[in-house]
Amino acid sequence: MHFSRALEKFLYPFLVISQTVPLIVISPIFIMWFGYSIWSKIAVTILTAFFPIVVSTYDGFKSGGAEYRELLLTMGANFTANGLLALGASPVMAYAHEEVADMAKIASALVLNMGTLDDKVVESIIIAGKSANENNVPVVFDPVGAGATPYRTESARRILQEVKVDVLRGNAAEIANVIGKEWSIKGVDSGEGKGDIVALAQQAAKELDCIVVITGKKDVITNGEKTYIVENGHPILTKVTGTGCLLSSVIGTFLAASEDPIYASAEALAFYGVAAELAAAKTAEQGPGSFQIEFLNQLANVSNEILEQREKIQLLA
């Protein structure tokens, strides 16, 4: 209810009314419905305890400061930071208008993420992106959920108009919607669709004048002329929140250490996929929670030798 005015207006009056009617009036109704069985007692208990808890929880959310709600919505940054630390990188997450330009200026690479979006975030992204451009810092942009709502789509397009992006990383639906092509999307996820993903990536790269990375069962990396396909990875990555955001940051890490941005992007995808394969193999019987922890371990443990043995990178003719 806290995040939906319509839901609040519909449900809140019923919650309040449920507490204004005396239990001595409602109890006979429950007995008529359920008899003297355990179910009539359960119904009275629910009415007594459940609704007050819901109302109190709602009031707690509503009374919390805006800064605490914003912090709650950015908790995914913890997973990204831990993943980058496992690689040996030094991540800093910054949002404030007052500091993002200075942070971008001293960074080795800048990753712009649209995950938790509002006007303040959009402005911070643009300020940071322009600062990176002025100081020759490579920029990776992750247009999370572009196509899910008009606001997200227009925000992504505005950012691309005002910031020179080196790598645009997203799923097929996000990339398609950024360049004005229709593609189904639900939340921040998309299906493979029926379109040609390689052609989509190449078109986007040419229109936006940047490297485009489309992730899926097969990852496509292209600058419009040279195209790589990476086939490393594991489906369980889709069961852990934040893996896409971390991937964009890993690409940024590889860009910072290479003078060949397109191959560095392909190598980042392969490295990330190999770490996922190894983590999935070690936690095959345990589920996504154990996978998440082991994935961080593998990000730290995958060596150049392991990567050379397992990477599946193909250069399209």
- pLDDT (tens digit, 9 = 90+) per residue, 207-264? 999 999 999 999 999 999 999 999 999 999 999 988 999 999 999 999 999 999 999 9
49-58 — which CB contacts under 8 Å span 24+ positions? 51/15, 51/18, 51/19, 52/19, 54/15, 55/15, 55/16, 55/19, 58/1, 58/2, 58/12
Report whether 215 belongs to an annotated binding site. Answer: yes
Q: Which of 202, 227, 203, 230 is nearest to 216 (CA)?
A: 230
Pairing of strands 167-170, 110-113: unpaired
pTM for this prediction: 0.77
What residues have CB less than 8 Å from 65, skipping those under 6 apart?
Answer: none
Tell me: the pLDDT tens digits for 281-298?
999 989 999 999 999 999
Q: Over 70: is that where the pLDDT of 72 sits? A: no
What pLDDT was estimated at residue 4? 53
Can you tell me the distance from the alpha carbon of 249 to that of 260, in angstroms, rounded to the nearest whole number?
17
- Alpha-carbon distances of 47 from 36, 54, 58, 62, rounded to whole Å: 17, 11, 17, 23
Q: Over 50: is that where the pLDDT of 141 sits? A: yes
Report whether 242 belongs to an annotated binding site. Answer: yes
Mean pLDDT of 157-167: 98
Q: How would you class 210 by CB atoms within 10 Å of its CB: exposed for 0-12, middle for 13-18, buried for 19 or more?
A: buried
Two tokens at 200? 């989509």
What pLDDT was estimated at residue 19? 62
Report whether 187 belongs to an annotated binding site. Answer: no
Tell me: the pLDDT tens digits for 21-61?
666 666 777 677 777 778 777 776 776 776 667 767 767 66
Three-class secondary structure of residue 249 per DSSP: helix
Q: Over 50: is that where the pLDDT of 188 sits? A: no
- Alpha-carbon distances of 148 from 123, 143, 190, 290, rounded to whole Å: 20, 11, 10, 30
First to last CA, the chain: 53
Between 3.40.250.10, 3.40.50.720, 3.40.1160.10, 3.40.1190.20, what CATH number should domain 70-315 receive?
A: 3.40.1190.20
What pLDDT was estimated at residue 1? 45
Structural domain spans, the chain:
5-63, 70-315
* Type of residue numbered 260: D
Report whether 93 belongs to an annotated binding site. Answer: yes
What pLDDT was estimated at residue 189? 47
Strand ranges in the chain using DSSP code E only, listed in sequence order: 110-113, 139-142, 167-170, 211-214, 219-222, 227-230, 313-315
Find the largest Cα–Cα distance for the chain. 79
- Per-residue HEC secondary structure of 110-148 comes to EEEECCCCCHHHHHHHHHHHHHHHHCCCCEEEECCCECC
Tell me: the pLDDT tens digits for 80-131?
999 999 999 999 998 889 999 999 999 999 999 998 888 999 999 999 999 9
Q: Over 70: is that where the pLDDT of 190 sits? A: no
